[in-house]
Structure 1
Amino acid sequence: MIVELVLRLAGAGVLAFAAYKVGETLGGPYNRYVYVLVLSGIALGLLLTPWVTTRPFVWIRRRIRQIPAQHLLAGTIGLVIGLIIAALLALPLSRLPDPWAWILPLIGTIFFAYLGTAVMVMRRKDLLNIISPRLYREGPLREDKYVLLDTSVIIDGRIADISQTGFISGEMLVPRFVLNELQHIADSSDALRRNRGRRGLDMLNRLQKESVVPIRITDMDVEDYREVDDKLIMLAKQLRCPIITNDYNLNRVAELQGV
């Protein structure tokens, strides 16, 4: 990625400058090794910068996507309540003699932040009932708000007739990587594969024009996986929605992973 390359170069520049300053400050015999220090700083910057910048961010983002919205809402409310309680207790505790004046408020902040988050997540159903009784009675968000279509079911074509019956509830999503796979098949040098790919594109066009169920091409992607099937399964887990497929192997693998 361009962003990662820029960060690597920036990290290399910062560490090279820091290494030069260290060698310059130490002086004496270290002046002879200043170039070695600079080169070491550049190497460390190029190698380590992504691991302290983009990689943790990607991991956190992936984890957040897998957490249900109800958990996030309850956890955030609990965290705020815990921090408010900790702040109120910190005022009298700060008048204690050192080192308790800063140790106890710190411990209190960590404790009440964790306690508030844990309690609210565990009692999230009660919280949802208080915030919106109607939503609670209707249950959590329906898992069929979306359904993902894979390449095989689009090429098969029967999905167009099924969508007219009202059997499918929820918006049909076709990820961009599935559309790209269809285009790749349609451009194949093999006549059979080319015909299947073109039939899939025609069927997708028909679905967009005639389907009773809304259908949308989405740019949602799972960057950590390269295979289309793996991307579909992980995206279905993130959205908590089913996959419509004719692929037996994909069906079995998805079942094993809870989709």
Structure 2
Amino acid sequence: MLSKIVRGIITLLFGAAGIYVDYLILKVVDIRQLSQTLGFEIHLYWTYIIIFIVLSAFGFFLAPVCMKVFIGLVKWLESRLIRMPIHDLVGGSLGGIVGLLIARLVCITFVGIPFLGPILSVIISLLLGYVGLIIGINRKDDILGFFNFLPKLKGERAEKEKNKDKGHGKQSAAAGYKVLDTSVIIDGRIADIVKTSFLDGVLLIPGFVLEELRHIADSSDALKRNRGRRGLDILNQISKESIIKVEIYEGDFEDIAEVDSKLVKLANILDAPILTNDYNLNKVAELQGIKVLNINELANAVKPVVLPGEEMYIQIMKEGKEAGQGVAYLDDGTMVVVDGGRRYIGQQTTVLVTTVLQTAAGRMIFAKPKGMQEKSSEEFSHEFNAFG
């Protein structure tokens, strides 16, 4: 019902526009001279009726397209305005109003121009309104400086200085967004981190990330399909938890093709960190000055500290790269390379830590079987006594 009413309004608007265009044309064209030229009399009211019917019919068939374009424009504006800081919004509004007032004064000089006068007035109003909007956003601190008597309308500069004086910017009660990427959702550890309450603020899940997850979940490849469905299950699990708030960002950047580039753009606009475990995204974001919360770095940081000389009871799983080596794994996935551990493959044994290395891939531990260490000490003692 509502769509029919809107369609009728658009039809009438097109008809009214046709009458106005006909009025402007008749101010320029002499209808009597035109009648003499054509050889038959043209009645003034028939021109209005015909052009009203023609343009109304045109508007009736074009109404669905107009409604679709209008709804798309409204959603686009909403996605931009809802994320815009209040200082930018107020400064841009004031700048736009000033621009339109200046346009109004300028357009007075074009009123007398037939036909082109109204068109030029609209173009100038749009141009100066847009220029005022951009200047208002870029110079918001200077503009809002005139409204210091209203605390909530002070510029960001004053707010930053105030926070600095109170303790170099303490975190506000309403913490900011943290943008999730596809890889960290599929990984699944984010759900366990949320349960620990170490994360605060709001987890923001972009719509284009959800779309990528949906495509992965619908993939013909079984492995990709399982990964995508796991990611969707993780999101459902997080959204049901009351520990942290989860929001969906419906906006999109249609001029950008890659999801990672969209994530960087969104994080830059919101001034929010990205939660990820993607190495390449991590580096790209850091190059653009965006904070990154990498859960792989978090996992490495919370791994238990092992010092050289400590004993560990492990099961050697497989053969190492070097001759005689055995390889074991701790519960957190840390690799333990055991020199001379090949003979203990498949067995539980006690080893002594010799070296601990921290690499970009994680922590690696080198050890030797405890029996081998003791044997080496006894052999050294016997050799020393024999020499003595």
Give the TM-score, by structure 2 length. 0.40
Q: Deviations over 1:208-244 (max 9, x none)?
A: 5779x6252x233115538654654454344321121
SS of match in other structure, 1:148 = strand
Match of 2:338 in 1: none
Match of 1:10 in 2: 9
CA distance 1:15–1:249, shift in 2 (3 Å): farther
Task: Give the C-alpha shift of residue 56 in structure 1.
Answer: 6.7
Q: Pick from 150, 153, 156: which aligns with 2:184?
A: 153
d(CA) in 2 for partners of 1:210 and 1:169?
Answer: 13
Task: Give the C-alpha shift of residue 144 in structure 1.
Answer: 6.0
Task: Give the C-alpha shift of residue 257 in structure 1.
Answer: 5.8
d(CA) in 2 for partners of 1:255 and 1:37?
Answer: 60
d(CA) in 2 for partners of 1:136 and 1:145?
Answer: 21
Match of 1:203 in 2: 234
CA distance 1:254–1:14, shift in 2 (3 Å): farther
Q: Pick from 85, 92, 100: which aligns with 1:68?
A: 85
Task: Give the C-alpha shift of residue 191 in structure 1.
Answer: 0.8
SS of match in other structure, 1:241 = coil
Match of 2:216 in 1: 185
Match of 1:39 in 2: 54
Q: Name the structure with the higher strand share.
A: 2
- 2:15 alignment partner AA: A
d(CA) in 1 for partners of 2:80 and 2:205?
Answer: 23
d(CA) in 1 for partners of 2:240 and 2:74?
Answer: 39
List aligned pairs for 1:85-234, cutoff 5 A. 116-117=143-144, 119-120=146-147, 124=155, 128=159, 137=166, 139=169, 145-163=176-194, 168-207=199-238, 214-216=244-246, 218-223=247-252, 225=254, 228-229=259-260, 232-234=263-265
Task: Give the C-alpha shift of residue 24 in structure 1.
Answer: 9.1
d(CA) in 1 for partners of 2:89 and 2:20?
Answer: 45
Segments of 5+ residues of structure 1 without an aligned counterpart are: 84-109
CA distance 1:128–1:6, shift in 2 (3 Å): farther
d(CA) in 2 for partners of 1:40 and 1:144?
Answer: 53
Q: 1:13, 1:42 within 8 Å by CA — same for their partners in 2?
A: no
Match of 2:367 in 1: none
The aligned length equals 220
CA distance 1:185–1:59, shift in 2 (3 Å): closer
Query: Which structure: larger Rg?
Result: 2
CA distance 1:140–1:255, shift in 2 (3 Å): same
Q: Deviations over 1:60-89 (max 9, x none)?
A: 54553454234556x49x96xxx9xxxxxx
CA distance 1:240–1:17, shift in 2 (3 Å): same
For the pair 1:236 / 2:267, whether they are aligned, the reply is yes
Task: Give the C-alpha shift of residue 192 in structure 1.
Answer: 1.2
Segments of 5+ residues of structure 2 without an aligned counterpart are: 32-41, 99-131, 291-388
d(CA) in 2 for partners of 1:137 and 1:70?
Answer: 21
CA distance 1:230–1:40, shift in 2 (3 Å): farther
SS of match in other structure, 2:166 = helix
Give the TM-score, by structure 1 length. 0.54
**% identical aligned pairs:** 38
SS of match in other structure, 2:249 = coil
Q: Name the structure with the higher helix share.
A: 1
Higher RCO (CA < 8 A, seq sep 6+): 1
Q: Deviations over 1:169-215 (max 9, x none)?
A: 4332334553454344223332111111122234335545779x625
d(CA) in 2 for partners of 1:51 and 1:207?
Answer: 34
- 2:205 alignment partner AA: V
